[in-house]
Amino acid sequence: MDRQKVHFLFELATSSNQGTEPTALRLQPIFPRKERLSTMSKERKLRPALSLILVPLATQLIATAPVLALERTEEAQLEPSTVIIKTDIQIDSTRRRPTIALALGGGGIRGSTHIGVLRVLERERIPIDYIVGTSMGSVVGSLYAAGVPLDDIEKMLMKKKLQKAYQPRPLAMQAICQPALMVKHAITGRPCAGLYNGRSLEKYIEKTLPPGKQNIENLNIKFAAVVTDFTSGKLTTFDKGPVAKAIRASTSIPLLMRPAEIDGHLYVDGSLRVSVPSAIAAETGADIVIGVQTDEPLHDKQTKSFKSYIPVFDQMINIVMTELGAKDKTSADMTIWPNLKGIKMYETSPKAVHKAIAAGELAANQALPNLRKILSSKIASRTITTVTQ
C-alpha cells in the first residue's frame, strides 16, 4: 500500500462532524511538511515497514472511532431507556422506562382531588401509561385519558356542570316526583329502581369527549372503568366500548341512580366492591402502581351530627370504604392519601371542589421524593448484560 492510501485511511478514521458518524478525534500528519522534502529518499526505503505499522493502526482507529466518539462527544443523542456506562457493561437497551399505572378511587366530590394529583404528575413530566378508575375516579380518569385538559375538567366541577348532569333536578324535588312516576311506570313498565336514570350524565360525557375519543380503546392513555355486576355482585371492568356508558355504570350508586343495563347485565358503582382499584391496576403489568385514596379517615363524630340522612349515609360509606381501602393499599407501590377532612361526599359547592384539588396537589407534592426513589429503584433493577467483546 502506498503513502496516499495510508493517508486516506487516516482521514476516514478521523472525519469531521459533517458526516453522519460522530468524530472521535483528529490525528495530525505523522511527518511535518518541512521534513518531508528532506527525507523523501529515506521515506521510500521505509515504506514497506511503515505500511506494516500504519495500516493495522488505521484499521484499529476506524473500528474504535464510534466508541471514542461516545466518550468525547457531548452532543451524542441517547435513547431515553438507554444508559451508557464507561465499562464493558451497559443497561439492556431492549427494556423501556418503567411503566406507571394510576388507580383512582371514588368518593363523590372528594374525587376532585384526582385533578390536583394529575396536575403535579403532569408538571413533573411523569408519564402515565394506564389509568384505572372507579366512580368519580373513572370520570376524571377517562376525561384525562381522552385528552381533556385538567383545567377544563376543573371548570366542569367548579361551574357544577358535571354535578347537574348527574342530578338534573334537586334530590328533594326528584323524590317528590316519585309517586307520579310510579303511575307512569305502571302503564309503560317499571324500570330498575333509582331516583335518576343516568341518561343526562351519559349524554354530557359524550358531548364533552373530544372527537374520535368516544370509545375506550381510542383514548390517548389505556383506561379501564371499574364496575360492580349488580346481579352477581362480582367486580368487573370495562376496557373497551363506549366511554359514556362505562362511566354511567361506574358511577351508578344504587337507589340514587338506576343500574346501567349493558348486554343484558346490570352494572352499578364499582366502589361497592373496591375503594381504590390498585389490584386491578397491577393486572395491567405496569412496573409501578400509584393509588389515590379519597376516603376520609374514620374518627369520632358528635352524636348530633347524624340527625339528617346525608351525614348518616356519608358515615356508612366511609366505614365500608375505609375497610376496602385497607385491603387495596397492599397492591400499590405507593398510595397518595390527600387530607379531605370536612369535605362531604355529596357536596357540590365550588369551595369543596377547590379544597379537594388543593389537597390533591399538596399530597402529590409531598409524595414526589418517595415516587422518585421508586422510579430509581425500578431503573436500577433492570437486567444488566455484559457486552460481548
How does pLDDT run across 40-76, given as a tens digit for each residue?
555 555 555 555 555 555 555 444 444 444 444 443 3
The pLDDT value recorded for residue 81 is: 34
Burial string for 269-278 (b: 16+ CB within 10 Å, else e) reads bbbbbbbbbb
What pLDDT shows up at residue 251? 95
Lowest mean pLDDT among 31-35, 90-94, 208-212, 337-341: 90-94
Mean pLDDT of 147-155: 97
Residue range 208-215: mean pLDDT, rounded: 97
On whether the CB atoms of residues 225 and 142 are closer than 8 A, the answer is: yes
Model confidence at 6, pLDDT cuts 50, 70, 90, reads very low
* Of 208 and 295, more confident: 208
pLDDT at 3: 45
- DSSP-derived 3-state class of residue 173: helix
Of 222-226, 302-306, 315-319, where does the model show the most confidence? 222-226
Q: How does residue 382 score in pLDDT terms, banded at 50, 70 and 90?
A: low
Q: Is 50 exceeded by the pLDDT of residue 147?
A: yes
* Lowest pLDDT segment from 49-58, 127-136, 216-225, 310-319: 49-58
Please report which confidence band the pLDDT of residue 19 belongs to, taking 50, 70 and 90 as the band edges. Answer: very low
User: What pLDDT is recorded for position 57?
Assistant: 52
Paired sense of beta strands 265-269 and 100-104, if any = unpaired
All three cell numbers of 206, joined, read 359524550
Residues of the chain above pLDDT 90, percent: 47
pLDDT: which is higher, 75 or 173? 173
Give 248-288 pLDDT, tens digit per residue.
999 998 878 889 999 989 999 998 889 899 999 999 999 99
Q: What is the mean pLDDT of residues 117-139?
A: 97
What is the total residue count of the chain? 389
Contact 166, 212 (CB under 8 A): no
**What pLDDT shows up at residue 86?**
29
Cβ neighbourhood burial of 104 (10 Å; 0-12, 13-18, 19+): buried
| CA 161 and chain centroid, separation | 26
What pLDDT is recorded for position 254?
85
pLDDT class of 23 with cuts at 50, 70, 90:
very low
- In degrees to the nearest 10, what's the CA dihedral of 230, 232, 233, 237? -80
pLDDT of residue 41: 53
Q: How far is CA 338 from CA 2, 125, 161, 194, 297, in A?
A: 77, 21, 24, 31, 10
Statement: residue 188 has pLDDT above 80? no
Answering whether pTM is above 0.75, one says no
Residue 296 pLDDT exceeds 80: no
Query: Could you give the angle at which helices 113-123 and 136-145 cross, rounded to 10 degrees?
Result: 30
Residue with cell 383512582: 104
Just list the catalytic residues: 135, 269
Identify the three-state secondary structure at position 133.
Answer: strand
Give the pLDDT of residue 300. 63
Instruction: Tell me what the mean pLDDT of segment 353-377 comes to.
Output: 96
Position 389 pLDDT exceeds 90: no
Mean pLDDT of the residues in the chain: 75
**Single-letter residue type at 114:** H
Question: Confidence band (pLDDT; 50, 70, 90) for 214?
Answer: very high
- Whether residue 306 is predicted with pLDDT greater than 70 in this model: the reply is no
Confidence of residue 321 (pLDDT cuts 50, 70, 90): low
Please name the amino acid found at residue 12. L
pLDDT higher than 80, residue 174: no
What is the tens place of the pLDDT at every residue in 324-361?
655 666 789 999 999 998 888 888 899 999 999 999 99
- The pLDDT score that the predictor gives to residue 24 is 41
Q: Is 14 helix (H, G, I), strand (E, B) or coil?
A: coil
